[in-house]
Amino acid sequence: MFALVVLGALSASGGLRAHAQTLGPPPGPFAPYDAPAAGGGVDDAAAARMLAARGFTNVQVVRRRGPTLILEANGPRGERVQVVVDSASGAINGMKVIGFGDKRY
């Protein structure tokens, strides 16, 4: 009975924690593209700076469609990508590979 009370007290206070609860998954192959939590709104220049801070180069704003920005850039691994950014939140909503380096498919 005493052991059950001690275990109940430890688990209620967070004293017993499984190892898997404290560790996240290892970074996967898309780690350079994982976005931090979205912040406030962004304009064209802020979206380009955000991508440059994540390792993208040769960033160009292609167009704006309402609250959506469409940019092209070279990704951290050298691939040419088209990136869709929500200008209201700054989150990356989509990305597709359109070439490699400065060459397009």
Structural domain including 95 reads 38-104
pTM of the model: 0.60
Kind plus residue range of the DSSP H or E element containing 6: helix 2-12
pLDDT, tens only, 4-55: 455 555 555 555 555 455 566 676 776 666 655 556 788 999 999 999 999 9
Does 44 reside within a domain?
A: yes
pLDDT for residue 89:
86
Does 47 reside within a domain?
A: yes
Does 6 reside within a domain?
A: no
Is pLDDT of 64 > 50? yes
Does 48 reside within a domain?
A: yes
pLDDT for residue 12:
56
Does 63 reside within a domain?
A: yes
What total of structural domains would you count in the chain? 1
Kindly tell me the burial class for residue 51, based on how many C-beta atoms sit within 10 Å of its own C-beta (0-12, 13-18, 19 or more).
buried
Query: Which CATH number does the domain housing residue 100 bear?
Result: 3.10.450
